[in-house]
Amino acid sequence: QVQLVESGGGSVQTGGSLRLSCAASGSTLAYYAIGWFRQAPGKEREWITSIIKSNGAAYYADSVRGRFTVSRDNVGKTVLLQMDRLTPEDTAIYYCAMVWGNPGIVVPMLTEDYDYWGQGTQVTVSS
């Protein structure tokens, strides 16, 4: 089993920054990637970024590219999401999720690509 715990959410004004953390525990040796999603009220869950464990390759949705940066520690048990130049449109619950094993997918972007999910952390950006 795998457990994912997000932290670092909070409230910030437009233009500010936050850094989210995703801590993975349990059977984490053989995972393929960790991704971040967000869900705003009344909207579907949206993929924003993924980082591949083996080589650290990172992929971003257009909505966050250039503002958000994903990184991982050397053992891949902590993944950070640095969010800069935040706007009210970034307000959402942010979730990290894990693709376990070898999924045969280069860039997992769909919710169904992911096997484990954290509980989420709220990010609120005020104007």
Q: Which pLDDT belongs to residue 11? A: 98
C-alpha triplet 33, 18, 25: angle, nearest 5°: 35
In this structure, the strands spanning 10-13 and 121-126 are parallel
Q: Which of 48, 40, 61 is nearest to 122 (CA)?
A: 40
Q: Are 36 and 70 in contact (CB under 8 A)?
A: yes
Please indicate whether residue 79 or residue 1 has the higher confidence score (pLDDT): 79
User: For 5-16, what is the mean pLDDT?
Assistant: 97
Tens digits of residue pLDDT in 50-86 = 999 999 999 999 999 999 999 998 888 999 999 999 9
**Residue 91, Ramachandran bin (φ over 0: left; ψ between -120 and 50: alpha; else beta):** beta
